[in-house]
Amino acid sequence: MKDHKTVIITTVNAAWTEPNSIFDLFMESFRIGTQTQSLLKHLVVVALDQKAYSRCLDVHPHCFALTTAGVDFSGQAFFMSADYLKMMWRRIDFLRSVLDMGYNFIFSDADIMWLRDPFPIFYPDGDFQIACDTYKYDSTDLRNLPNGGFTYVKSNNRTIQFYKFWYNGKDYFPGIHDQDVFNRIKFNPLIVEIGLEIRFLDTAYFGGFCQPSKDLDLVVTMHANCCIGLENKIHDIKMVIEDWKSYMGLMAVKGRKNLSNRTWTAPWRCGMKNSKNRRIAPFRSFNVN
């Protein structure tokens, strides 16, 4: 970007890049969000298979093909299957390489709707900033429950060392995905030793279906987390987009007057009953919900 070397990254596969699927909704959110359209020129879409790469090239100028030998990422991935775990750890290793090249990044799952520019909301002193499934405490409290689907990371020796440490966690905690490993290593003395500053992002701004942002005047991103089933995600994300369009329409007419009753209609299909069955999940663009 203009003032700092930052790139926005998302990952998609064939299932998520079908017309009218997650990828199209993700791109639409940038176009209808407040001060988000200009961010598209800084977005790199990482495609995990050839079909996704071809579709990306049809709609976006910045596409990167990332393949993993012996693994087909084009369809749905079963939660905690061997291929699912390979996807998780491939992401961590890839993002580490981005830091090695000197780039700061925002990593965003494609099922996250960008409704406002997040940069004014980020903490100025956080090396590693991560969204939450549940935000209970202050931004420095390690007891918050993070979600690896949205992170803002600055490239420096501390974050590069941390990502190497995180990636090595797959060997120390075999069969566990990256988010659970992060929840274990965030208390490790090495974090203090290397001086890594971790900040947890408040769901009032960076919300999701686990803990929705309640104030549409504040919401920055909305994540379709705590949701199983690609069709359910698409259905409820469309509701988010319609809610946002209605809100912006009212803002244009009334300003902030008489908007106190504006709330989300989503999640609908992605409710608590649906989220309890966590054995099998669709491809989540490397997200762990």
User: Which tokens sit at 184?
Assistant: 């274990």
What is residue 78's predicted lDDT score, i.e. its pLDDT?
Answer: 44
Does residue 289 fall inside a structural domain? no
Cβ distance 149 to 108 under 8 Å? yes
Q: Domains in the chain: how many in total?
A: 1
Does residue 224 fall inside a structural domain? yes
Does residue 282 fall inside a structural domain? no
Query: Domain limits at 82?
Result: 6-275
What is residue 39's predicted lDDT score, i.e. its pLDDT?
Answer: 97
Share of the chain above pLDDT 90, in %: 66
Q: In what order do the strands lie in the sheet with 112-114?
A: 112-114, 221-223, 206-208
Query: pTM for the whole thing?
Result: 0.88
pLDDT tens string 58-109: 999 999 998 766 665 555 554 445 666 777 778 899 999 999 999 999 999 9
pLDDT category of residue 16 using cuts at 50, 70 and 90 = very high
Average pLDDT (22-51) is 96
Does residue 237 fall inside a structural domain? yes
Is residue 256 scored above 90 in pLDDT? no
Does residue 174 fall inside a structural domain? yes
pLDDT category of residue 259 using cuts at 50, 70 and 90 = low
- Which parts of 243-285 are beta strand (E)? none
Most confident of 23-32, 212-221, 252-261, 276-285: 23-32
Average pLDDT (205-220) is 93
Cβ distance 96 to 167 under 8 Å? yes
What CATH number does the domain containing 189 carry?
3.90.550.10
Mean pLDDT of the chain: 86
Is residue 278 scored above 50 in pLDDT? no
Q: What angle do CA 217, 218, 222 make, to 5 degrees?
A: 110
Does residue 21 fall inside a structural domain? yes
More confidently predicted of 120 and 275: 120
pLDDT category of residue 33 using cuts at 50, 70 and 90 = very high
Rounded to whole angstroms, the Cα distance separating 146 from 144 reads 6
What is residue 261's predicted lDDT score, i.e. its pLDDT?
Answer: 53
Is residue 45 scored above 90 in pLDDT? yes
What is residue 175's predicted lDDT score, i.e. its pLDDT?
Answer: 76
Is residue 287 scored above 50 in pLDDT? no
Is residue 196 scored above 90 in pLDDT? yes
Does residue 204 fall inside a structural domain? yes
Average pLDDT (128-138) is 96
Does residue 280 fall inside a structural domain? no
Q: Which residue has the tokens 């075999």?
A: 174
A 10 A CB-CB count for 247 gives 18
Strands 112-114 and 43-47: unpaired
Is residue 37 scored above 60 in pLDDT? yes
What is residue 84's predicted lDDT score, i.e. its pLDDT?
Answer: 67
Is residue 280 scored above 90 in pLDDT? no
More confidently predicted of 172 and 78: 172
